[in-house]
Structure 1
Amino acid sequence: MSRVFGEISQIGYVVRDIRASMDHWISHGVGPWFYLEKVELDYFRYRGADSPLEMSAAVANSGGIQIELIQQRNDAPSVYRDFLTAGREGAQHVAYWTSDYQTLYDKALSLGYRVAQEGLLGGGRFAYLDTEHDPGTMIEISDTGSVKGELFAFVREATATWDGTKPIIEL
């Protein structure tokens, strides 16, 4: 438990082949995966400048922790591209969820955190905080006071009762 951010809600993996990564997790009994081939972001900024990020994402839960897989589909500036360009692949961030996003965002900035990238997805804001002093484990804060929170609750419930059939559900 972080005294600043609360409980870790998600571990995000940046991967080169999202389908192979889903198959890997499925082989370990984690699923079903809710997969979105083309994530439609309302806006996305990298280090304060707009960036035309194209990405695919998949989520599933393992108990109370959500696993997120991200594959960037273009060469737009992002922390995902930075991670892969540095020769890394795998766990890239831990995410903390909140229904009071602005308060947590302001608190992080007041403590000296800097925003590396941020955007809006499904009415919910998110920000990745620049924590490169600990390579590969950025902090993401994410607003779950929107439709995104309802989706995340649905994913958690679906994985809790998954019987192993239909391991990938395309959204």
Structure 2
Amino acid sequence: MTQLFQNLHHVCIVVHDLEKTVAYYESLGVGPWFDYPKKGAYVEFDVPNKAASDAMRYKCCDIDNVQIQLCDPGSLDSPQKHFLDERGEGVYHLGFEVADRDAAEAQGRALGLGVVARGKRTDGSGFCYFDTREKAGIVLEVRKS
């Protein structure tokens, strides 16, 4: 059985003010920052609120061993917005790179993990957020770029 959560790709931090947070990181020498690169349309896209998902803003920074993602969830109803309102700024999820998105989602479901959101493109890339908040404290994501 392949280990789902072995190859850490990114840490996603939910924040109130994207520009202010990026400026602070840059003042510490962390950067450069870039907009999250959306790679195209999903053929499957199951999220709690598509409008909220579309409205979220992300900035990313690749450091030597991992990517940092900052997420401003905006004002629409989403799991990220709930997290920010209930807990304040902080790590919302860890994203792990996998070789096969579909197999990773199936393996997670077989382990009894619920799914918060998922998306898949025609080339097999995409993501699956597992609902691991209660036991892991955060969401765990598998993704294929």
TM-score, normalised to structure 1, is: 0.70
**2:9 is the alignment partner of 1:12:** no
Could you say if the C-alpha distance between residues 73 and 41 of structure 1 is closer, same or farther in structure 2, counting changes exceeding 3 Å?
A: farther
**Stretch of structure 1 that moved more, 133-142 or 15-24:** 133-142
Contact 2:56 2:74 (C-alpha < 8 Å) held by counterparts: yes
Aligned to 1:51: 50
Residues 1-171 of structure 1: pairs in structure 2 closer than 5 A:
3-35=3-35, 42=42, 44-46=45-47, 49=48, 51-52=50-51, 53=53, 54-76=55-77, 78-120=78-120, 124-134=125-135, 136-144=137-145
* Matched pairs, number: 140
- Report the CA distance between 1:79 and its aligned residue: 1.7
Aligned to 1:156: none
Could you say if the C-alpha distance between residues 21 and 136 of structure 1 is closer, same or farther in structure 2, counting changes exceeding 3 Å?
A: farther
- Report the CA distance between 1:120 and its aligned residue: 4.8
Distance in 2 between residues matched to 1:122 and 1:32, nearest whole Å: 30
- Report the CA distance between 1:57 and its aligned residue: 0.7
Query: In the alignment, residue 97 of structure 2 is paired with which amino acid?
Result: W
Q: Report runs of 4+ in structure 1 exceeding 6 Å deviation.
A: 38-41
Distance in 2 between residues matched to 1:67 and 1:122, nearest whole Å: 26
- Report the CA distance between 1:128 and its aligned residue: 1.2
Distance in 2 between residues matched to 1:25 and 1:128, nearest whole Å: 26
Deviations for 1:99-141, whole angstroms, at most 9, x for unmatched residues? 3111111111111111012235796311211012147521011
Distance in 2 between residues matched to 1:136 and 1:44, nearest whole Å: 25
- Report the CA distance between 1:8 and its aligned residue: 1.5
Distance in 2 between residues matched to 1:121 and 1:28, nearest whole Å: 36
Any idea what SS the aligned residue of 1:103 has? helix
**Root mean square deviation of aligned Cα:** 2.8
Contact 2:4 2:96 (C-alpha < 8 Å) held by counterparts: no
Could you say if the C-alpha distance between residues 19 and 136 of structure 1 is closer, same or farther in structure 2, counting changes exceeding 3 Å?
A: farther
- Report the CA distance between 1:44 and its aligned residue: 4.5
Query: In the alignment, residue 101 of structure 2 is paired with which amino acid?
Result: Y
- Report the CA distance between 1:40 and its aligned residue: 7.9
- Report the CA distance between 1:29 and its aligned residue: 1.1
TM-score, normalised to structure 2, is: 0.81
Could you say if the C-alpha distance between residues 50 and 121 of structure 1 is closer, same or farther in structure 2, counting changes exceeding 3 Å?
A: farther
Percent of aligned positions that are identical: 24
